[in-house]
Amino acid sequence: MMGINTRFAPSHTVISNQKIATPFFDPLNHFMPAPSSDALAATTCVPGFHIVLVEPEIPPNTGSIARLCGATNSTLHLVHPLGFSTDNKHLKRAGLDYWPHVQVVHWPDLHSFLAAQAELRLHFFTTKSRRTYTEACYQPGDMLIFGRETKGLPEEILALYSERCLTIPMRNAHIRSLNLAMAAGIVLYEAIRQQEQQK
């Protein structure tokens, strides 16, 4: 197994006066402290691909991506703070009754998420890259990382991981970006296509 990302030192993050050192699985999507540090290793060993949403803002997008993850046996990672409550009716409506079948991992912040990952497993998607998503070689266990609907990923992260950044090309210069759920679906199925070809 690849080593933990050395660009970020693992640290405790205080949320609501509770120290949260590890992520956790939560089928009901409620944010709670993890019971033990063993959860950290568990999340990085889950087979399949991982969709990571950094501070998502629009509930239906996250709900649709949750449904996508359920359909493909992929893991959904939600990096807080979220722009909505996980009890939002639009979020649940977009995911329909599939939420119990989706593996969801919550992280207190982007720093905590990055500190726990192997750098070569990370793929950042942005309109500010010239390298297309089809140029990458995806392997099960890879993290497919998407930023906020309005602002994308933080500039400092794009600069720090410039060699890990990818884009989905668009032919119309008047269109700034694709819908988040659509972009996640395009990339995830390209990763699955590559995996299937390798069999």
Residue 160 makes CB contacts below 8 A (sequence gap 6+) with 7
Pairing mode, strands 122-125 and 24-25: unpaired
Per run of 10 residues, the mean pLDDT along the chain (length 199 residues) is 53 33 44 41 67 95 94 96 81 74 93 96 97 97 97 97 97 93 98 92
pLDDT of residue 6: 56
pLDDT of residue 135: 97
pLDDT of residue 96: 67
pLDDT in tens, 74-100: 999 999 999 888 776 777 776 667 888
pLDDT of residue 17: 28
CA dist list (Å): 121 to 29, 77, 137, 139: 25, 14, 10, 8
pLDDT of residue 46: 60
Sign of CA pseudo-dihedral 55, 187, 9, 31: positive
CA distance 113 to 8: 9
CA distance 193 to 186: 11
CA distance 136 to 57: 27
Chain centroid to CA 84? 16
Tracing tokens 């933080």 back to the chain, one arrives at 154
Domains and CATH numbers, the chain: 33-197 (3.40.1280.10)
Helix 180-197 to helix 59-72 angle (10° resolution) is 10
pLDDT of residue 37: 41
| Tokens (6 digits) for 127 | 């309109």
pLDDT of residue 97: 75
Sign of CA pseudo-dihedral 158, 165, 85, 50: negative
pLDDT of residue 91: 74
Residue type, 198: Q
